A and B are shown apart, each in its own frame.
Chain A
Amino acid sequence: GAVVSQHPSRVICKSGTSVKIECRSLDFQATTMFWYRQFPKQSLMLMATSNEGSKATYEQGVEKDKFLINHASLTLSTLTVTSAHPEDSSFYICSAERTSGTDEQFFGPGTRLTVL
């Protein structure tokens, strides 16, 4: 149990386009989901916390208008990178926390975004 999926696993897009990444909890309900970004040889940096039915909470320095988050159901959160630029190229990973449980976070397999 506690499987989290992400789609797509890899995406290449042109500068200026928008890209949507989906994060799904497959076998549990997640009131809270988290979006992280990881640059090569660096650790994960939290971008935002996504709560079902309410606005996401963004970390300092993360532009909410550029990284749109929607958590429409207890099993799905989406991250849309709007008007992507080459500096947005990174590995994006989501995690989900069970609605009831031990506060353990379960991570998705990640999405590799490359902006040309």
Chain B
Amino acid sequence: KQEVTQIPAALSVPEGENLVLNCSFTDSAIYNLQWFRQDPGKGLTSLLLIQSSQREQTSGRLNASLDKSSGRSTLYIAASQPGDSATYLCAGRAQGGSEKLVFGKGTKLTVNP
């Protein structure tokens, strides 16, 4: 059974800092991994999707990596801004492609002006 863990649960940084959010998963037979952003009381916005054959994906100031052998993914945010403040969730999808997404509990990020 796939379990996804995100550490830390909360993170507060000053504006402009580069930061890394961590996600670990127990089953290395992962089909893909997605990073999402959730603002308070809102739905999820997909940030990056990494397929099992890929090692990283980049979008603007965001870079996500995937290391299946170690069961880890990281989300790197460069030059953080107050508008980046949100909860970041990672979710893994098992092999087969038709399996459900298993979510971590998220990391609540606060970027202080």
Interface residues of A (CB under 8 A from B): 4, 6, 34, 42-46, 49, 59, 91, 93, 95, 102-110, 112
Contacts and interface: CB of A to CB of B under 8 A. Distances in A.
B100 A34 contact: yes
**Interface of B (DSSP majority class):** strand
Contacts of B105: 42-43
**Interface of A (DSSP majority class):** strand
B101 A43 contact: no
Contacts of B61: none
B36 A107 contact: yes
B41 interface: yes
A75 to B, nearest CB: 17
Given A44-B103, A107-B43, 8 more contacts: A43-B104, A44-B89, A59-B100, A103-B32, A103-B97, A105-B34, A107-B36, A109-B43
Interface residues of B, number: 22
A14 to B, nearest CB: 23
Contacts of A59: 100
Contacts of A44: 44, 89, 91, 103
A107 B104 contact: no
Contacts of A105: 34, 46, 101
Interface string B86-100: 000101010001001
Given A43-B105, A44-B89, A49-B100, A102 B51 contact: yes
